[in-house]
Homo-oligomer: A and B are copies of this chain.
Amino acid sequence: MNIREEKAYQLLRANTEKYLTLKDEEFDYYFSLLQYKIFPKKSFLLRQGEVCDFEGYIIEGGVAGIHENGEGNQTVVSLMMDDWWVTDIGGWVREEPSYLTFQAMLETSMLLIDRERKEQLYRELPVFERLFRMMGQIKIGAQQRRLVNCLSLTGGELYHQLIAQYPLIEQKFPQYLIASYLGISPEFLSKIRRNMTK
């Protein structure tokens, strides 16, 4: 392995160990099925309406998940950074068109796996069914908390919580994307930030 692959290996292994302990040969087989790829800034991983054929793990970078409605209005649904997974998981399972566009907002290095290899992994090593079952369940809990926050907190509270949880997010993404993610206007976000620095 070269240096960048070695780093990717270590990061993904640590991510995996949060859920369960794998044998070296299990993890190595998994890693051998992944493809290392760099997405340039502003490039698209997936466009809304396409069927997602990958699960991707971000080694370093930033990806925005954006939904566009019938009138052309865009909503930022997710902002994903180092050590996050990117996929349109519902669409992946059902082979349905994606509800979201995924765009790299800065140069982003990833490990990717396609549907065929993922099924091969599950077939060869069923422990990965357990791993991804657990990862999915943690994700559902996190999404539920986000939904609670969206429904119950003010824009200012959402912003404070976001930067407490992800201190690097403002270095990764421009303000207008963060504002959209929080469901507030860029002007209101500027106002919140000005009030903070006072």
Contact = CB atoms under 8 A, between A and B. Distances in A.
Contacts of A133: 129-130, 132-133, 136
Interface residues of A, number: 39
Contacts of A137: 89-90, 92-93, 132, 136
| Chain A contact residues, majority secondary structure | helix
Contacts of A130: 122, 126, 129, 133
Contact of A75 (B90, B138, B151): B151
Interface stretch (A7-15, A140-148, A185-193): A140-148
A36 interface: no
13 contacts: A67-B152, A73-B152, A77-B151, A90-B141, A90-B145, A93-B134, A93-B137, A93-B141, A99-B144, A126-B129, A136-B140, A143-B144, A147-B150
